[in-house]
Every structure is written in structure tokens, then in C-alpha cells.
Structure 1
């Protein structure tokens, strides 16, 4: 069982550059590393007055499309291998299959300057492939132009850290590829470092793969997300939070409340970058992890849910998806029902097809592969369907990009 431990700090590594955990979350094209001085300016990219939000989707055959949410126009970006899973950081889409992964750059991104934002558009394209064995797990930070992107291949046990700055220039560069035990695992970027969760422990590494500090116990690692506070890794008895302070990694264990019997969290979601994250707790409701306060809260839900995402706004909205395909708007402090949509993706869920509920500051987005639709939902207005889209090919996987 995991127990709280005091934060552990390791000696600074002077050659490494500390990456802002609250970086940008979205796409770019060939470009220099954006900094607070350049405000994310990229050579060849156009700066925009507002975010170029879009829905980038991949169908069952691997065709990649981008729907511009402002103009409601669609562009075809190319083709990847038929996807088994897709992960996105809000800019790139990482399409995984048994032979490795393919990387799509949606070409739109936001640079988070803490007190304000800068928005850009550049070339959208399929960047290329990373070879590996088994359907990988991918973990990203809040910056799509700096730091690393973690990839773990379960059938070979290979832990890979990609150079995200190189991706922003259109290049696929591996910072390290290390061998671990075959099976489930994670490579999670945190500032200038990366945490590898494999077996029953988490080890910390520099961007070049060198191990630093002591290992941290983590039985059955599953699920990860990065907030403004740090990178979360789910474990059987709680979570491990990895952050960076004064160019040093800090590891903290956040155990479940004493006596908790609800199923563990294994998939986290939130409005990008916010400190609170949500995860389904089986039939018991929803776990909410506040990474700022280092606390778990179990919220009972009015009915079973299969997905949950913390909007973490001033109204403490929490979104959830029911087995029959309705979107629930819940009180993020009590779990009480505020609103519910009509059933939207019941056929997809019933057929076991991948459905994703994505929240941003004002809207939520949902895909229905079986229904051949995508929806924009105004969760603050009674879970009203604001727009419904009918793409030319069914969106098996999708992501909101440009945010």
C-alpha cells in the first residue's frame, strides 16, 4: 500500500533546461523553442486574434480530417495506419497501432503566457511514424513546443522519450529508448525530466535517459495527466505527483482517503491544464483529485457513468457520460445533477466503439463513430447541443485542437 511521503528533491542538473509545466497545449509547425520573451512566436506561422479551434479526427481506415470550428470547413490532412488508440495534447494527435505510432500535427496552437495567451496557425500535416511493438501508451505535457513526449510500448517494454521541440520543427527525434519489463507502462514528461512507471515502481530520468534519485513504489500504474501543478500517475493505492521546483524534480505520493473502498482511478480527464482532474470510480461515482491541495474526493453520481472530466471552472462543473450516451453536468463539489443531454452516443457505446468527451472553458465536444457525428455541447446552458457536425467519414477518434 502507498503511504504519504515527504517530497524528495534531487540535485539540479545544470545542463538541463527547466520546462514550464504550464506551457501551451496545442499544435505548431517547424519552429524555434517559444519562450516568455518571444510569446510563442514561430517562424512562418501566423499569429491570430483568437484561438483557431478545431476538431481533428481519424476514421477507422486512418484518414485524418480537420474541422475548423470557426469557419465550419473541413480539410483532409492525410492518412495513417488504422488506429487502435489515439492520444492528443491539444495540438498533436498520436495514432497508435500494433506496429508503433503515427504523429499528426494539426497546425494550430495556443501559447500560454500565464496572464494572457497567443494564438498561432501553421502548416497541418502528418509528421511520420515511431516504430514499436504493441499499442503504445502516450503521455504529454502542457507544452507542444518544448520538453518531451513519453511513449511506452507494452509488447517490448521499450520506454521512449520524444523531443517535443523537434516535433515543432517537423522532426521526430528520440531522446532515449530504454528497456523495461514487458507489459503495461508509462513514460511521463515532467519539466526537464521524465518518469517511467513500469512494474511496481516509478523511476526518474533526465532527458538523456540517466536515472536520478530513488525509485518510488507504484503498484499497477495506469492513467496519467499533466496539470499546472505537475504530472499525475495513477497507482493502485493512489497517485504519484511529479513536479519540478528550482530545476529539481519533486515526487509526492497522494494516497486515497483512509478506508476508501471505491475502485481506483485509471483514466484521468479535465479541462486542459487545470489543477483538478476527474476519473470514474466504478459504480461508486467519480474521483476528483485536486493536485494543488493533494487531496482526493469521491463524488457519488446520480447514476452510473463511464467517463468523467473536471471543467474546474468558477461554477465547479463536472461532466460525465452515461452508458446510454447522455452527457451529464454535475456539481463538482457534491456530485448533484445540474443538467443532462438527450442520448447522443448510445449506439457507439453499445457497440464498444471509442467515444471521447472533451471539455474546454465554454463547450464540450463528443464523437459518435457509430452515429457518424460530432457534437458541441453548451454545458452551462442545460447541456444544450449547440452544434452537430456530420463529417464525411465517421470520427473513430478525435481531439479538440488549437487550445
Structure 2
């Protein structure tokens, strides 16, 4: 996205961005016959005639895309407009619930009792020849559920949405473009399934070539990951990635399609039929979450060096996939601050965003790790003992950073390009998890 755009222009430009990158519009006329390994792009071309689609009943056409934020709190879910931060819906739902965007710009998977329940954020774009139309409609927690004993990670990659059940080790993959169709029809159309040998807290990624990356583990721990072909035959594997957790899938600046996972001794990248290790060289140096940016060689990882420590972190790692180097960086440039995995994200141009306990959002250069700007956003806060406890989180959407402040019930919009806080609005709940949809 252009660095010269003003804040309002960035929101207006989102429609143009979606017109280039949106994989499908919101509705589908028929479910095509498709093999489990067909790419989502092929599925879309074969099964959907976008020019003949009509908007849904009860919808309102908008001049541009309407991005929204979905946030959980103790007792429910709120959906807010990403520009005004006005509350559009407040849905009651008991329990500690987690959120994952499903990749179509509209739907969110809510990890709740029984599995992944699908939330319709009521905002979507629809292709019409050489342009798009934009709509908003009813927001609802739908009846569609991907059943899971213990709903875990959700990954969106290459036009697929892949869900992992930690309680059984079952993997289910869906065409990302099909969520509206599946919600309307009230049934699920699975395009690829896999069952791990043993249940564990795992993750899976499906590529358009039909290759499936899946973690290896059991109830006693996790040891590695393997890449399978479309017939579930092993292409490459590793058992030298203890505590495997987190993943990222992207194309780097060299044009390589890479799959990566984090380990307690560094990280592992899958290069086709072999793996490369980013070894930490320490007994314990856990990278549990990875953050990539399309077209960048640098993958950012969080870093924990005390196995007995909590979720408070003070360093990050830069993993250069071209030069195969690993660099440890202090994102706070010597300041007394910490962060959690909820407080680190990538900007649209690969910037590294880290929110510290000192209340400051820092923007780091991805190549050097140097602090480019430091933006005061929230009051000082403490990292909680339990990860489920509400604390500030960062989400990037439509060229802006959104920072939650549960202690005050506020959401803050940060212009990380210009280096300033733009808007703060009290939402009225102690928000916990956050996910964005582009509309």
C-alpha cells in the first residue's frame, strides 16, 4: 500500500486492494465437483460465475469495503467498524472463546464448546466484471460448526482454510472461497482430511500443489513436522524440532515458497524435499510464533529463553531465509519493557510492530531490527500469569494498527506509517482476543 496515502485515503484504497487480491466474492451459486488437491483458484474459476451473482437479501450496498474488528470478552463477542470503532453487534457467548479469521474477508472461526463455530461479520465484496461491489448485512454467530474435541490452530494459505483439532489430531481443509456458500447451505464441504497418528496441540498447512505440512507429537509432547504429498506420502520430515509450535507459509523475495515452524531450539524451514534448521545454539531458545510478510526474506519470531518463565518476552529473532541467518534483537532498544505473542505483528510493507508493557508501540526495520518510531498508545500494563487473562493485543488491518486496552475498554487506531495515534474509542467491554476482516 502506498506510503503517501492519508488515513482516509488508505481506507478508500482498500477497495482497490481487494479488487486485486480477493480470491472470491461472498456468494456462490453451486458447489462444484473438485478433487481434494485442486487449488482454490481452480475451484473458483470452475465453480463460480461471479458476474451473475446477486447481492444477498437484506444487504446494503456501500461505496467501499467496510473492514470490521471482532473481539471476545468474558460473556460474549463484539463486532466494531474498523474506521469509526462503533459497535455493530454484541453477541452473548459463555466461556473463554478464541478467534481466527477464515481468510475470505468476512467470516471468523470462533473456537468454542463443540468446535469451530462460524461467525458472519456481515461485510463482503462481490466481483462484477472488471470491478467490485461492496455490501454490509446482518452480523451473526451462525449455526455452522466444524466439530472438534479441542479446537486449535486455524491456518489460511493458498486459498485454503485448514483447521486442527488438538483433541483428536484431525485436520480438515476447506476452500476459503466457500464459507458463505457453506453457511447458506448449512453444511460443510471438506476438500482434504488427515488424522495424525496421535492427538497433540498441532497445526497443519495445505498448499495449492496438494502438499500438507503437519506437526508430529502426542500427549507427552511435540517433536517435529512432516511434509506430505497428495497421497499422504512423506516428502520431508524432521524429528529435531522439540516443542514445535506456530507456523508461517509465504513466498520470499527470492520467489521461494516456504513453510516454517517454530521449535524450542530455533526454527525449521521446509525447502521442497528437504529442511533447513535455524538452530539457536542454546539449550532452550523457544520460538513459538512466526510472522512473515509476502515478498520479504525476513521472518520474525518471538523468543523465550527461560523454560520456567511465563508468557513475558523481551527479545525477538529475525530469521533471514535467503542468507539462512538468525539474529536476536531487543525490540525495545534498551528500555525496560516486555511483550507477549499478542503484541507482535507485521505491517503491510514488512515492518515489525511490537507493543511493550510501557504502553509504547514500536515500529522496527525488518532488515536491521532498528527502531524506526516509538508511539505511545496505552497506559503501562503488566504481563499476566495466565495467557488467557485479557491484556493488550495488536491487529493490523487496512494499513492501520489496532491496539486493545482491556483495562479501559478502549480500542486505539495507530497510524504506524506516520508514527502517531489517530483515534481512541471506548468500546465498553474488557476485550481479550481480536481478529480483523477486510470486507
TM range (shorter): 0.7 to 0.9
Matches within 5 A, 1:309-320: 309-311=345-347, 313=349, 317-320=351-354
Judging changes above 3 Å, is the alpha-carbon distance between structure 1 residues 347 and 317 closer, same or farther for their aligned structure 2 residues? same
For 1:334, what is the secondary structure of its paired residue?
A: coil
For 1:256, what is the secondary structure of its paired residue?
A: strand
Q: Note the C-alpha offset of 1:287.
A: 1.6
Aligned partners of 2:26 and 2:177 also within 8 Å: no
For 2:178, what is the secondary structure of its paired residue?
A: helix
Judging changes above 3 Å, is the alpha-carbon distance between structure 1 residues 36 and 117 closer, same or farther for their aligned structure 2 residues? farther
Judging changes above 3 Å, is the alpha-carbon distance between structure 1 residues 324 and 96 closer, same or farther for their aligned structure 2 residues? farther
| Partner in structure 1 of residue 53 of structure 2 | 43
| Partner in structure 1 of residue 79 of structure 2 | 66
Matches within 5 A, 1:58-207: 58-63=72-77, 65-70=78-83, 72-76=85-89, 78-89=91-102, 91=105, 92-97=107-112, 99-108=114-123, 120-121=134-135, 123=137, 124-127=139-142, 128-141=144-157, 143=159, 147=160, 149-169=161-181, 170=183, 171-174=187-190, 175-176=192-193, 178-191=195-208, 192-199=210-217, 200-205=223-228
| Partner in structure 2 of residue 52 of structure 1 | 66
| Partner in structure 1 of residue 401 of structure 2 | 364
Q: TM-score scaled to structure 1, two decimals?
A: 0.73
Judging changes above 3 Å, is the alpha-carbon distance between structure 1 residues 103 and 72 closer, same or farther for their aligned structure 2 residues? same
Aligned partners of 2:351 and 2:366 also within 8 Å: yes
Q: Distance in 2 between matches of 1:157 and 1:211?
A: 15
Unaligned runs of 5+ residues in structure 1 are: 1-21, 244-249
For 1:55, what is the secondary structure of its paired residue?
A: strand
Aligned partners of 2:29 and 2:48 also within 8 Å: no
| Partner in structure 2 of residue 214 of structure 1 | 235
Q: Tell me, yes or no, if structure 1 residue 376 matches structure 2 residue 393.
A: no
Higher helix share: 2
Q: Note the C-alpha offset of 1:66.
A: 2.5
For 1:223, what is the secondary structure of its paired residue?
A: strand
Unaligned runs of 5+ residues in structure 2 are: 1-19, 31-42, 218-222, 252-256, 305-312
Q: Which has the higher contact order (CA 8 A, sep 6+)?
A: 1
Q: TM-score scaled to structure 2, two decimals?
A: 0.68
Judging changes above 3 Å, is the alpha-carbon distance between structure 1 residues 27 and 359 closer, same or farther for their aligned structure 2 residues? farther
Judging changes above 3 Å, is the alpha-carbon distance between structure 1 residues 337 and 94 closer, same or farther for their aligned structure 2 residues? same
Q: Is the deviation greater in 285-294 or in 333-342? A: 285-294
Residues 51-93 of structure 1 deviation map (CA, whole Å, 9 limit, x = unaligned): 3222122322133x33223455432274555344222245332
Q: Note the C-alpha offset of 1:238.
A: 4.3
Residues 310-367 of structure 1 deviation map (CA, whole Å, 9 limit, x = unaligned): 3262xx6321121343211223233233332335164474473254212346321112
Q: What is the total number of aligned residue pairs between the two structures?
A: 363
Aligned partners of 2:247 and 2:260 also within 8 Å: yes
Aligned partners of 1:103 and 1:126 also within 8 Å: yes
**Superposition RMSD on alpha carbons, in Å?**
3.9
Q: Distance in 2 between matches of 1:142 and 1:292?
A: 22
Larger radius of gyration: 2
Residues 206-232 of structure 1 deviation map (CA, whole Å, 9 limit, x = unaligned): 67xx41333411422200123344443
Q: Distance in 2 between matches of 1:203 and 1:31?
A: 37
Q: Is the deviation greater in 263-272 or in 44-53? A: 44-53
For 1:167, what is the secondary structure of its paired residue?
A: helix
Judging changes above 3 Å, is the alpha-carbon distance between structure 1 residues 76 and 105 closer, same or farther for their aligned structure 2 residues? same
Q: Is the deviation greater in 280-289 or in 215-224? A: 280-289
Judging changes above 3 Å, is the alpha-carbon distance between structure 1 residues 121 and 278 closer, same or farther for their aligned structure 2 residues? farther
Q: Note the C-alpha offset of 1:120.
A: 4.3
| Partner in structure 2 of residue 246 of structure 1 | none
Q: Note the C-alpha offset of 1:292.
A: 6.3
1:326 to 360, 366, 370: 360
Aligned partners of 1:48 and 1:121 also within 8 Å: yes
Q: Note the C-alpha offset of 1:402.
A: 0.7
Aligned partners of 2:278 and 2:319 also within 8 Å: no
